[in-house]
Structure 1
């Protein structure tokens, strides 16, 4: 498996857009996700989207974004939009994509990385610390997590 920025493999753009829209969106929000994916393909700039590819098959995606939760814009950067193809789940790909974003954020000098999820107990297995609850738009409770990348501030 190879993890690379989507801007180096733009042939997967439509599939990534469809995955994010179907997993995280509403019936009217495909254009919103297409916009996110389009703006996450500039080398050296956030947001960034990464893809996991085996051979020529897209198996997963994840993002490193400035903001993923509008109600908590004080926190950044974010591991966002982690998605594994349904036929590829259970193989540890989520952990590998998380680790890739962790290393990218660490390399950029950030002391912490954040994420939010409606799931509880998944991310703790990978060293994420639950830091409280937040609200996703318009009023959906979510769990907030932090990953410490460095002990320096």
Structure 2
């Protein structure tokens, strides 16, 4: 198993777009997620998308983004769009993807990382600290987390 930047495995881009759209799309068009992926392909610059692959099988994805929550643009950068294929869940892959983004963010000179989620009790077990609630557009309360790098 390995985690690589999507720009090193561009043949997975369409599947990543579909996963993000299905998991996080709600009322957003697929083209919105295609744009995110298209613009997260420059080495050393945010945003970045990473993929977890095992023997050329795509198992998961995660992003390192400038901003993931429009109501909290004061926070920077963000671990975003964490997704593990349903059949691969429960194997610790979400933790591996998080760890990879932490290492990448630290290597880029960041001292902390943020994320938001609608659920509680998942990210806390990976060391994330709840810092409060915020609004996701247009009117959904979400939980905001921070972790020191």
Task: Name segments (4+ residues, structure 1) moved above 4 Å.
Answer: none
Residues in 2 aligned to 1:27 and 1:17: alpha-carbon distance in whole angstroms: 15
Determine the C-alpha separation between the residues in 1 that align with 2:34 and 2:61: 14
CA distance in 1, matches of 2:27, 2:70: 20
What is the aligned partner in structure 1 of residue 38 from structure 2? 38
Give the distance between the partners of 2:92 and 2:144, measured in 1 at CA: 22
Aligned counterpart, 2:84 = 84
Tell me whether 1:14 sits opposite 2:17 in the alignment: no
1:73 corresponding residue in structure 2:
73
Q: C-alpha separation between the residues in 1 aligned to 2:20 and 2:12?
A: 12
- In structure 2, what is the Cα distance between the partners aligned to 1:28 and 1:139? 14
Superposed displacement of residue 96, structure 1: 0.1
TM-score by length of 1: 0.96
Give the TM-score taking structure 2 as reference length: 0.98
Q: 2:87, 2:127 → 1: CA distance?
A: 25
CA distance in 2, matches of 1:89, 1:55: 17
Distance 1:148 1:4 in 2: 23
How many residue pairs were aligned?
Answer: 149
Superposed CA RMSD: 0.7
For 1:142, what is the secondary structure of its paired residue?
strand
2:57 equivalent to 1:53: no
